Structure 1
Amino acid sequence: MGEVVVREFEPNKDREKVEAVERICEVGPRGKISLFTDMLGDPICRVAEIGEEIVGMIRGCIKTVTCGKRLSRNGKHNKTNAKEVPVYTRVAYILGLRVSPDQRRMGIGLKLVKRMEAWFRENGAEYSYMATENDNLASVKLFTDKCGYSKFRTPSVLVNPVFAHRERVSSKVTIIPLSPSHAEILYRRRFSTTEFFPRDIDSVLNNKLTLGTFLAVPSGFCRAETWPGPDLFLSDPPHSWALVSVWNSKEVFTLEVQGASRVKRTLAKTSRVVDRALPWLRLPSFPDLFSPFGFHFMYGLGGEGPEALKMVKALCGFVHNLAMEKGCRVVVTEVSPNEPLRFGIPHWKMLSWDEDLWCMKRLGEDYSDGSVGDWTKSQPAMSIFVDPREV
C-alpha cells in the first residue's frame, strides 16, 4: 500500500470519487448524497488518498448545544424566582466516516478521525461525538478502543410505516400549525434545557427542509384561527399540550432495504394493494422499502400535562397523513430511552431499534457558562434533542 495522505476535500476535483466511495460502502444512502449539503452551517470534509485514488473520507461540524442546566435567580438571595436555564457548550459532531471496503484495517479510519479532531480543537470545540449502530463492532472498537471515546447515550430509533389510508386524528384534539418564530419561542422557553438542544434552533426551524411545527391542544381550548400566540399561551396554557416539528429527509437522500426474499416482497405488495382497495379497513400494510424511498423525521417532540400522551398520539397521526401526502413511506423519530412521551409514539418494532449508540470524547477543558464538569461522565437525562440536520 502506498502512503496515505489526508487532505481537504476539493469539490470540483473530488466529488465523483467521493460519491463512488459512498456507493460502495454498505451504509451509504441512495440517490442524493447528503455529504455536500450545508445544512449544518459550515461542515468540513477531509479525504484520504493513496496516489490519485480516494479511499476514505470524514465529515464534521461544530455547533453550540445544551449540556446541562443551572438555577438562575433574580437577585443574589432570591430563591422564589429561581428558574432553570441551559448551560451551553461547543460540541463537534462526526457526521460520517467512510473507508473503501478493500482498504479497511489499515489505519485509514484512525488517521481521518485524528485529523478531524485536530480541526475541532483548533476551532474551539470542547467535545466530539459520533453516532453508530450498536452492533457495528468495527466502528465502536475504532472510536472507543483507539480514539478514546466513551459510550455516552443510547437513544431509541422509532420507525412507523406510512399506510395507503389516512390515520384518524382524535376530534378531541386540535392541531395548530405554528410559524417558525412562534415555534422558536415555545422551544426556547420550555425545552431549551433539554440535552443537545441547539442554540441555533431558529436556523433549524427556518430551514427549507422543516415542513412545519405543530401544536396539539384540547379541542375546547382554541381553534387554529384563534391561536393567541406563544406569550398568552404560555401564561395560561391548557391542562395538556404537545408539539413536534417535521423534517423532510426525502429531499436530502433516499434509503433502500436490500436482501429481502421474493416471498416477503410479494406479501408486502399484497398488503398495500388490499389497503389501497379497502382503505376503510385501515389495514397495517407494509410499505415498499425494497426500492429507494424517502422519510419524514419528527424532531423537537415535547409536551406537558396528564394527557400529553394523547396529544402526542394525535400529532403522530397528523404527521403520518402529511407524510402520505408527500409520498414518504416511513416516519422516523429518535428519543431518549427515558422519554415518557415515547409511549404515545406509534411504531413497528420490526423496523425500529432500541439502541442507536452515541459515543463522546472530551477534547479539552469545559469553558461553558456555569460549568457542569465533564459532560462525558454525566447521567442520561429524561429527554434528548436530536438535531434533524444530523440524521
Structure 2
Amino acid sequence: MTVVREYDPSRDIAGVEDVERRCEVGPSGKLSLFTDLLGDPICRIRHSPSSLMLVAEMNTEKKEIVGMIRGCIKTVTCGKKLDLNHKSQNDAVKPLYTKLAYVLGLRVSPSHRRQGIGLKLVKQMEEWFRQNGAEYSYIATENDNQASVNLFTGKCGYSEFRTPSILVNPVYAHRLNVSRRVTVIKLDPVDAESLYRLRFSTTEFFPRDIDSVLSNRLSLGTFVAVPRGSCYGSGSGSWPGSAKFLEYPPESWAVLSVWNCKDSFHLEVRGASRTRRVLAKTTRVVDKTLPFLKLPSIPSLFKPFGLHFMYGIGGEGTRAAKMVKSLCAHAHNLAKEGGCSVVATEVAGEEPLRRGIPHWKVLSCDEDLWCIKRLGEDYSDGAVGDWTKSPPGVSIFVDPREF
C-alpha cells in the first residue's frame, strides 16, 4: 500500500508540511519541539555536497503522504595517521577521511506508525547511500526516544557510537558583557579555513569541505579570542594570519564559528502550561524594563523562534575555557541583534572546553545519541579498520548543516 519515491516539490510540499506539523519532536509527556522548515522541506540538507529526500505515499486514490526521510553524504575525518615523510611535528599527523552518510528528518504520520513505513524509508535511503559510495551511515536521536533507537539499532543494524551534549542558552533582553581581558577577532573565511585545517582537521567528523561551510551565506563568521594586551590583541592590523598565529600562539586562545539556523527553520516549544508561559513573560518584562540588573530572562519559546548554532569550538591554554565563554557572549549578542531566541551548540561529552559554554540545563540535552552503521568495505585514505568500533576522542566537529 505504500510507495517510497523521491520528493517532488511541485506536488509534495503540502503533504510534507502536514506530516511535519503532526510529528512533534520530543519524548511523550514532556515539552516538545515543533520544527517549521519555512516552506522549504529540503532546507536542512540542501547545503550539503550530496543530498536526497524521499517520501512515503499511500498507493491509493488519495495519494496521501504519510512519511519522509532526508539524507546527505559528505567526506569527513574518521581517524588520523602518522606520516613519517614529514619532518615537522605539525605535519606528521594526517587525517584519515571516509565517505559518510547522515540520516535526518525521519518522520512517519502518527496514524500510520507501526506499519513498517519508517523501516522502508531507511532501507531505501541506505540503498542510495551505497550507490553513491558511502562507507558509513549515522543518525542522531534522543537517547530516550525508544521507538527511534529500536528502529535503528534493533531493525537496521546500527550501533550506539557517540553521546555528545546539546547545550542551549536563551538570548536575554540585555546584551552580555565580553570580558575586558579578552579581544575578539573576526577572521575572513579563507583565514578561518586555514586555521581549522591546520589545527582541527584530525578531529573526528571534521568535514573535508570546511571551505564550503565557512563561505556559506548562513555562516555568520569565525571568531578568535586572545588575551587583551598580547601581540594579537593590541588592535586592528595585529592579526598575522592563521599559520603564523599557530606557529607562535598566545598562552591561551579559543575559536568558534556561528551559523544562522534562523533562515532555514524555526522551532516552537509546545505543551507548556499557562503558569510557565506567564512566568516566562514576567522575566522578559523585568529584564527589558531593568536591563542594567542583567537578570536572566526566558525568551518567548512558545511561538516560532530562531536560533544561532555555534560550531568549530576549540582552543588551547589554561584560560581557553574562559576565552570560549567570551566568544559565547559575543555569539549571544549576535543572536540578539539577529532576532534569535536561543544559541546552541553540540560538543563531545568529554570536551574539556564545555565548562566555558553557558547553557540552561532545562533547555539542553546531556546525552544526544549518535548511532552508526558500516555500509561496506572501508575505502578511506589509509587503514582505519572498522570506524564503528573505534573509541571516542575528547572532541568532535559538529557540522552546522546537519544540526
The answer to whether TM tops 0.5 is yes
**What is the identity, as a one-letter code, of the residue corresponding to 1:285?**
S
Rounded to whole Å, the distance in 1 between the matches of 2:76 and 2:239 is: 30
Match of 2:18 in 1: 20
Superposition pairs of residues 102-117 of structure 1, within 5 angstroms: 102-117=111-126
**What is the identity, as a one-letter code, of the residue corresponding to 2:133?**
G
Shift of 1:259: 1.3
**What is the identity, as a one-letter code, of the residue corresponding to 2:56?**
A
Shift of 1:33: 4.8
Superposition pairs of residues 1-391 of structure 1, within 5 angstroms: 3-27=1-25, 28-30=34-36, 32-33=38-39, 35-37=41-43, 38-51=46-59, 52-74=63-85, 83-221=92-230, 222=232, 223-391=235-403
Rounded to whole Å, the distance in 1 between the matches of 2:340 and 2:393 is: 31
The answer to whether the 8 A contact 1:73-1:79 is kept is no
Going from structure 1 to structure 2, the CA distance change for 1:100 and 1:358 (only over 3 Å counts) comes to same
The answer to whether the 8 A contact 1:35-1:59 is kept is no
Rounded to whole Å, the distance in 2 between the matches of 1:81 and 1:96 is: 39
Going from structure 1 to structure 2, the CA distance change for 1:304 and 1:81 (only over 3 Å counts) comes to closer
Residue identity over aligned pairs, in percent, reads 66
Rounded to whole Å, the distance in 2 between the matches of 1:33 and 1:343 is: 37
Rounded to whole Å, the distance in 2 between the matches of 1:379 and 1:40 is: 27
The answer to whether the 8 A contact 1:126-1:367 is kept is yes
Shift of 1:34: 5.3
Q: Deviations over 1:146-166 (max 9, x none)?
A: 000001111000011111111
Rounded to whole Å, the distance in 2 between the matches of 1:301 and 1:35 is: 29
Going from structure 1 to structure 2, the CA distance change for 1:338 and 1:33 (only over 3 Å counts) comes to farther
Rounded to whole Å, the distance in 1 between the matches of 2:342 and 2:84 is: 45
Shift of 1:85: 1.1
Rounded to whole Å, the distance in 1 between the matches of 2:97 and 2:310 is: 23
Shift of 1:225: 3.4
The answer to whether the 8 A contact 2:167-2:344 is kept is yes
The answer to whether the 8 A contact 2:13-2:41 is kept is no
Rounded to whole Å, the distance in 1 between the matches of 2:361 and 2:163 is: 17
Rounded to whole Å, the distance in 1 between the matches of 2:390 and 2:40 is: 32
Provide structure 1 residue ranges, at least 5 long, that are not aligned to the other structure.
Answer: none
Rounded to whole Å, the distance in 2 between the matches of 1:68 and 1:80 is: 17
Rounded to whole Å, the distance in 1 between the matches of 2:278 and 2:136 is: 47
**What is the identity, as a one-letter code, of the residue corresponding to 2:11?**
K
Shift of 1:35: 2.7
Q: Deviations over 1:334-374 (max 9, x none)?
A: 00011000000011111111111111000001110112110
The answer to whether the 8 A contact 2:42-2:70 is kept is no
Going from structure 1 to structure 2, the CA distance change for 1:339 and 1:104 (only over 3 Å counts) comes to same
Q: Deviations over 1:217-261 (max 9, x none)?
A: 011123243211112212211111100000011111111111111
Q: TM-score, normalised by structure 1?
A: 0.96
Rounded to whole Å, the distance in 2 between the matches of 1:334 and 1:224 is: 31
Aligned residues: 387
The answer to whether the 8 A contact 1:33-1:252 is kept is no
What SS does the corresponding residue of 2:358 show, helix, strand or coil? coil
Shift of 1:79: 9.2
What SS does the corresponding residue of 1:226 show, helix, strand or coil? coil
Rounded to whole Å, the distance in 2 between the matches of 1:220 and 1:290 is: 44
Shift of 1:83: 2.0
The answer to whether the 8 A contact 1:73-1:82 is kept is no
**What is the identity, as a one-letter code, of the residue corresponding to 2:272?**
A
The answer to whether the 8 A contact 2:85-2:92 is kept is no
Going from structure 1 to structure 2, the CA distance change for 1:388 and 1:4 (only over 3 Å counts) comes to same
Q: What is the RMSD computed on CA atoms of the aligned residues? A: 1.4
The answer to whether the 8 A contact 2:101-2:134 is kept is yes
**What is the identity, as a one-letter code, of the residue corresponding to 2:131?**
E
**What is the identity, as a one-letter code, of the residue corresponding to 2:107?**
R
The answer to whether the 8 A contact 1:241-1:303 is kept is yes
What SS does the corresponding residue of 1:202 show, helix, strand or coil? helix
Going from structure 1 to structure 2, the CA distance change for 1:276 and 1:81 (only over 3 Å counts) comes to closer
Rounded to whole Å, the distance in 2 between the matches of 1:304 and 1:250 is: 30
The answer to whether the 8 A contact 1:177-1:224 is kept is no
Rounded to whole Å, the distance in 2 between the matches of 1:14 and 1:79 is: 55
Going from structure 1 to structure 2, the CA distance change for 1:81 and 1:108 (only over 3 Å counts) comes to closer
Rounded to whole Å, the distance in 2 between the matches of 1:152 and 1:232 is: 36
**What is the identity, as a one-letter code, of the residue corresponding to 2:57?**
E
Higher alpha-carbon deviation: 48-57 or 245-254: 48-57
Provide structure 2 residue ranges, at least 5 long, that are not aligned to the other structure.
Answer: 26-33
